[in-house]
Amino acid sequence: MKPNEEETADERMRKMSRRSFLWGAAAVGATLGGLRWLNTRPTEDGAIWPLRRVLQTNEEVARTLFSANRLAPTFPQARITEQRVNGMLGLDDNFDPQNWKLHVEGLISGEAVLSLQDIKALPKIEMTTELKCIEGWSVITSWAGARLSDFAKKYPPVARGEAPNNFPEYVGLSTPDKNYYVGLDRQSALHPQTLLCYEMNGEPLSLEHGAPLRLVIPVKYGIKHLQRIGTL
């Protein structure tokens, strides 16, 4: 390299680092300004509104990914994968499935205490679908159970507003010990692939997968597939 070329390169580097220093200073300023701006915003539903918008955007992304208007893909039985055990919150060891009951609240008839036979009396639906965990893995599983929408027809909840959109806006489900719970929007709850499942890959549901009854909702991530439903 000739000395003058070296100079040029040197000079260019100096300019570049001066420029990136200026950009860096601007970025730090913008961040501090941004934080100050964030902290002075009013709140919406208990969250600073720009953060609330991010939550809303995340929910919208999830809704478009798994549209409740469409069916989640189904697979031939040959595609069933090796199963994984994940998430044991609310699945305490000294649980006796023989004494299990499903407690249902908010019905027109008041409350109901149901047995597994009551669930099995509803039309039996079988489907092979994918469970996607937000941790980045997924499994394909064959399920059997009753549609939550068929359940709601037989055990109608207290109406909110005018028919036909008078189904409660949200449904909550929890484990018998209340240590794990999920909330479902109306559209996902009444989706035809949302099942109260008692069989997995042709066998009665095992304790480690949520026996005697679990939720399977392929339009949502695994996190919503509540195992061991105690209260609805």
Residues of this chain that bind Mo ion (CB under 5 A): 133, 222-223
d(CA 150, CA 194): 10
d(CA 114, CA 204): 18
Residue 227 sits at φ, ψ, to 5 deg, of -90, 145
Residue nearest to Mo ion (CB): 133
Q: Number of residues interacting with ligand MTE: please give it, by CB under 6 A.
A: 19
CA dist 32 → 41, 49, 52 (Å): 14, 18, 20
Span from 63-71, 79-87, 103-111, 118-126 in contact with ligand MTE (CB under 6 A): 79-87
CA dist 181 → 40, 123, 175, 194 (Å): 33, 25, 6, 16
CA atoms within 13 A on the CB side of 160: 8
Residue nearest to ligand MTE (CB): 87
Nearer to ligand MTE, 127 or 131 (CB): 131
By rule CB under 6 A, what string of x and - marks binding of each residue 89-108 to ligand MTE? xxx-----------------
From the list ligand MTE, Mo ion, none, pick the one residue 106 interacts with, judged by a Cβ distance below 5 to 8 Å according to partner type: none
Q: Kindly identify the residues of this chain, within the stretch 188-227, that bind ligand MTE according to CB under 6 A.
A: 209, 222-223, 225-227
Token digits of residue 81: 């994968």
From the list Mo ion, ligand MTE, none, pick the one residue 225 interacts with, judged by a Cβ distance below 5 to 8 Å according to partner type: ligand MTE
The CB-of-152 to Mo ion minimum distance in angstroms stands at 26
Helix residue spans in the chain (DSSP H): 3-39, 49-65, 116-120, 148-154, 186-189
* Residue whose C-alpha is closest to residue 185's, from 173, 201, 200, 197: 173
By rule CB under 6 A, what string of x and - marks binding of each residue 32-71 to ligand MTE? ----------------------------------------
Cβ–Cβ < 8 Å for 17, 25: no
Span from 33-41, 62-70, 84-92, 115-123 in contact with ligand MTE (CB under 6 A): 84-92
* DSSP helix/strand/coil, 12: helix
The CB-of-218 to Mo ion minimum distance in angstroms stands at 13
From the list ligand MTE, Mo ion, none, pick the one residue 114 interacts with, judged by a Cβ distance below 5 to 8 Å according to partner type: none
